Chain A
Amino acid sequence: MLDQIVAQIPTFFTHFTLTFLLEAMGRTLAMTVLGCGVGIALGTLIAVIRYTKTRLLAPLRVVLTVLVEVFRRIPFLVNLFIVMFALQGFGSEVSLFTIATISICIVATAFLSEVIRAGLESVPRQQIEAAEVMNLGFARTLFFVLLPQSWKVILPPAFAFMVMFIKDTSLASQMGVVELTFTGKVLMNRGFSPFLVYGAVLAAYFILSYPLSRLGAYLENRLASPRSRKTLKRVRSATGSPRHHTLG
């Protein structure tokens, strides 16, 4: 078996397969980046709305809380199927790549909004009271008091979730999006040894996600003051952050 693999190595690592893998890597990355971008934007919006206290927004807060809770509790695969059939069932012509990206956006919004909300809530109440005393409005409290103090707590778990989204995109291969995992299937059907193919695919995922998780760990050590270290721990356990290392 081993000599069979060794014999295949020169035919496997050709220009063609490498560009094929690189393109797929790009597509995986594009899905994740788009998803995270939308997730951060919408997630911040949702977190801020859920953070407000006015009675006017109470129904919206309830709706958003339910939506976030529900989408955090649906497997990504089922989410993909629902988005796909919902879009196709109502007769729109969208590419599979768009469908997968929309799914990632939904999931990222749900998870990241929870991280951002926990981060906002980690700011001590006295800070907000002080802002109130100084007659700052909601927007100024948000931008000058809440966000500058909470982003240190938000970033490390957010990076952990980004790594999770990179890995989640592999499920999009099930619908036929030509990303890394699907490329693996194609190459295997071309007769390459699964050892080589999936080894290469695993390595490609590793190359994508390892720098991100290192960056998350670095930021965690770098940013965290003793106080935010404690709150970070709380944020992690509250949001179910997928990575726990270096802390504790």
Chain B
Amino acid sequence: MTYTLQYADVLRQLPYLATGAVLTLEIAFVSFWLGCLIGLAGALGKLHGGALIRRLIGLYVVILTNTPALVQIFFLFYALPDAGITLSPMTAVLIGLTLNSGAYLIDILRSGISSVRTSELETAETLGMSRLQTVRYVILPHVAKTIYAPLCNFFVWLVLGSSIGSIFGVEELTGRAINISSANMRTIETFSVVAAMYVALTFVASITLALTGRYAFRVKARIF
């Protein structure tokens, strides 16, 4: 059997796919920042909280990082209606991704915060720095340097992970690809174009983040 590749049908739909790509970025962006809030709270709780809080946060991280995000969202989407909470696909995906990324971000942020050594804080005190100065000149540069690269990687990972939304009918990039391919039956062409879009999207994101890091935080983040 021979198969001729025809890209015309797909390329005509590029604007439609591009709006899907915007939604993909939005999902990643929202769940990243909400996840950062969970991550920050969790990391601080894990470092400074009592034994019970630390245990609970540890349990949260272990459970959420060792089970697939897809099944977690399935759980939210199908099991919660039994308890009287009905979520739209979009909210279920957003909540699922946020909770999931929160667990990873707790780990990342915790390693960043604990990378500041006590001797450095003591030095800052000896130099007569105020609390604000210590945060600005000692703690933040340190934390930024440690967590910037992992955070960038994680954001890219989240952009790719948001493709899970298509399974629940969220019309982001993959979801729109499925729509198009079931209409024009040009599946290979559609998905190869979409794959190229994902590569371009994450590549641009990586380069922008690496350059930002280099100039704003003096982090030597690798692009490749």
A193 at the interface (CB under 8 A from B): yes
A77 and B163 in contact (CB under 8 A), knowing A85-B187, A213-B66, A248-B111?
yes
Closest to A198 in B: B75
The answer to the question of A48 belonging to the interface, with a C-beta cut-off of 8 Å to chain B, is: no
- Contacts across chains A and B counted by CB atoms under 8 Å: 154
Closest-CB distance, B163 to chain A (whole angstroms):
4
Question: Is the C-beta of B78 less than 8 angstroms from some C-beta in chain A?
Answer: yes
Beta-carbon contact of A244 and B111 below 8 Å:
yes
Name the residue among B68, B75, B84, B198 with the largest chain A CB count within 10 angstroms: B68
Q: Say yes or no for A101: interface residue by CB 8 A criterion.
A: no
Q: A237 to chain B: which residues have CB within 8 Å?
A: 149-150, 153, 221-222
A202 and B78 alpha carbons, distance in the complex (Å): 14
* Bound-complex Cα distance A1 to B160 (A): 36
Kindly identify which residue among B83, B146, B157 contacts A240, using a CB–CB cutoff of 8 Å: B157
Which chain A residues lie closer than 8 Å to B179 at the CB level? Answer: none
Given A77-B166, A195-B82, A198-B75, residue A86 in contact with residue B107 (CB < 8 A): no
Contact of A90 among B1, B68, B177 (CB under 8 A): B1
| C-alpha gap A168/B68 in the complex (Å) | 7
Residues of A in contact with B, size category: 35 or more
B residues near A245, Cβ cutoff 8 Å? 61, 107, 110-111
Q: Which among A19-27, A65-73, A125-133, A148-156 touches the partner chain?
A: A65-73
Do A248 and B112 have beta carbons less than 8 Å apart? Answer: yes
A170, B75: Cα distance in complex, Å: 13
Across-interface contacts of B215 in A (CB, < 8 A) = none
Q: Is the CB of B195 within 8 A of A240?
A: no
Known interface pairs A70-B199, A81-B187, A205-B67. Does A240 touch B160 (Cβ–Cβ under 8 Å)?
no
- B31 contacts chain A at the CB level, 8 A cutoff: no
What secondary structure prevails in chain B residues at the interface with A?
Answer: helix
| Interface majority SS (helix, strand, loop, mixed), chain A | helix
Q: Please state if A78 and B163 are interface contacts (CB–CB under 8 Å).
A: yes
Chain A 158-186 interface 0/1 with B at a Cβ cutoff of 8 Å (1 = within): 00000100111011011000001100100
Q: Given that A75-B160, A89-B3 are known contacts, is A243 also in contact with B71, CB under 8 Å in the complex?
A: no
Q: Are B146 and A188 in contact (CB-based, < 8 A)?
A: no
A74 at the interface (CB under 8 A from B): yes
- The residue in chain A whose Cβ has the minimal distance to the Cβ of B58 is A245
Q: Which residues of chain B come closer than 8 Å to A180, judged between CB atoms?
A: 71
Task: Give chain A interface residues in 93-114, CB to chain B under 8 Å.
Answer: none
Q: Which chain A residues border B1 with CB–CB below 8 Å? A: 90-91
Name the contact of B114 in the complex, choosing from A76, A168, A188, A248 (C-beta under 8 A).
A248
Whether A78 touches B111, Cβ cut-off 8 Å, given contacts A1-B82, A70-B199, is: no
Answer whether residue B191 sits at the interface, using C-beta atoms and an 8 A cutoff. Answer: yes
Asked whether any CB of chain B lies closer than 8 Å to the CB of A206, the reply is yes
**Measured CA separation A85–B177 after assembly (Å):** 13
Tell me, rounded to whole Å, the shortest Cβ–Cβ distance linking A138 to chain B: 23
Query: Which residue of A is nearest B222, CB measured?
Result: A238
Residue of B nearest to A170 (CB): B68
Q: Which residues of B contact A79 (CB under 8 A)?
A: 195
Tell yes or no: A82 within 8 A of B by CB. Answer: yes
Q: Which of B70, B78, B167, B224 contacts A188 (CB 8 A)?
A: B78
- Pairs A–B under 8 Å by Cβ, sample size 27: A1-B83, A65-B224, A69-B224, A73-B202, A75-B163, A75-B174, A78-B198, A81-B177, A82-B192, A82-B195, A166-B68, A170-B71, A171-B68, A181-B71, A195-B79, A201-B74, A202-B63, A202-B72, A205-B71, A206-B66, A213-B66, A237-B153, A238-B222, A240-B156, A243-B65, A244-B107, A244-B111
Given contacts A1-B84, A76-B163, A89-B188, 20 further A-B pairs with CB under 8 A are A69-B199, A73-B198, A73-B202, A74-B198, A75-B160, A75-B174, A82-B191, A82-B192, A90-B3, A170-B71, A194-B78, A194-B79, A201-B71, A202-B63, A205-B67, A205-B71, A206-B67, A243-B65, A245-B61, A248-B111
